[in-house]
Amino acid sequence: MVFKLYCLTVMTVLAATYAVVVRYTRTASSGDLYFSTTAVCITEVFKLLLSTGLLARESGSLKKLVGILKRHVFCNPRELLTLSVSSVVYAIQNNMAFLALSNLDAAVHQVTYQLKIPCTALCMILMLRRTLSRLQWFAIAMLCGGVMLVQWKPIQATKVPVEQNPFVGFIAIAIAVLCSGFAGVYFEKVLKSSDTSLWVRNIQMYISGIVITMLAVLLNDGQKVVEKGFFFGYTPYVCFVIFLASVGGLYTSAVVKYTDNIMKSFSAAAAIVLSTVASRIFFGLHITTTFASGAILVCVSIYLYGLPKQDTTKLSVEDSEQKSKQKLVCETLIERGG
């Protein structure tokens, strides 16, 4: 129980801190900012290194690790091409997150980003033929209603020196949640098509991701990067953002593995509360009745959506274990950030 609480606490703090720190790095000064495309690229590099380290631990020896990489990465361009679809979509999602937090407060972003739940659910229905319970449909409707309240009259912080466009921020989040839903379900479908290790699939995806995000750097900020340098505008806070984005997925996996949906729902709701409090303290966020009502609806809907389904059928032990494994993979992909 202590370890479960530890995992949830760390995951909650990571989620809230990431949004707040990204917001700070994008709005702390009205001068030249770091290039968000380079930050996304560096994050992919760190994720690749972390996944390789975890695969090395799983394989048990350097010789086995080299053999696995040779078989599934260096000598299998077809699989790399298959995973490049997820890489492209995740790259768009991660860049949209920076754009959204440049134009919306961290608390508003945290609430609105929960639209990833209905987007992922819709993709599961269309691509994996999953079904939702009536309670889950009700929770999705409640969540959308809560987000509408939050976005009805977006609140602005008083301690932000740069010009913002809430409409652009909302469009960026909309694109990000659509990408999150599709990429997660697509990646799950690829995982279930073979018995290849999750870490191997991650490595394949991050290799493609590095190439794709580097292309994004060249296309969007190529000239500026040549003039000012790849790491222009980097501060300890920017490095901290990259660190949070890199390790967040590892703690997400631990939360999914060692806790249940109800506890994860509390974690998501707590992250929203922490982001709101931090925004009030650091950015002078004025909390309105409309925002508070919408945020409460979203928190309740997350809890309702995570409640276990009532299953009246009797499953064998093997069927139960198989469904548990599928649920674990599915939930990990819903929670990951690319």
pLDDT confidence band for 229 (50 / 70 / 90): very high
Spell out the domain ranges in the chain: 2-308+316-335
Spatial CB neighbours of 309, under 8 Å, sequence gap ≥ 6: 133, 136
Q: Measuring CA to CA, how many Å separate 146 from each of 104, 287, 292, 301? A: 17, 15, 9, 9
What CA–CA distance (Å, rounded) separates 311 from 85? 35
**pLDDT at residue 324, rounded to an integer:** 54
Judge whether 234 and 243 are in contact, CB under 8 Å. Answer: no
> Does pTM top 0.95 for this prediction?
no
Which of 97, 234, 114, 101 has its CA nearest to residue 165?
101
pLDDT tens per residue, range 148-168 = 988 887 666 666 767 788 899
pLDDT tens per residue, range 164-204 = 888 999 999 999 999 988 988 888 788 777 777 778 888 98
Spatial CB neighbours of 12, under 8 Å, sequence gap ≥ 6: 267, 270, 271, 274
Q: Measuring CA to CA, how many Å separate 220 from each of 214, 268, 322? A: 10, 33, 44
The stretches of the chain forming alpha helices (DSSP H) are 2-27, 36-59, 62-69, 77-103, 106-112, 116-128, 134-152, 166-192, 198-228, 236-258, 261-282, 289-305, 317-335
**pLDDT at residue 312, rounded to an integer:** 42
Judge whether 97 and 241 are in contact, CB under 8 Å. Answer: no
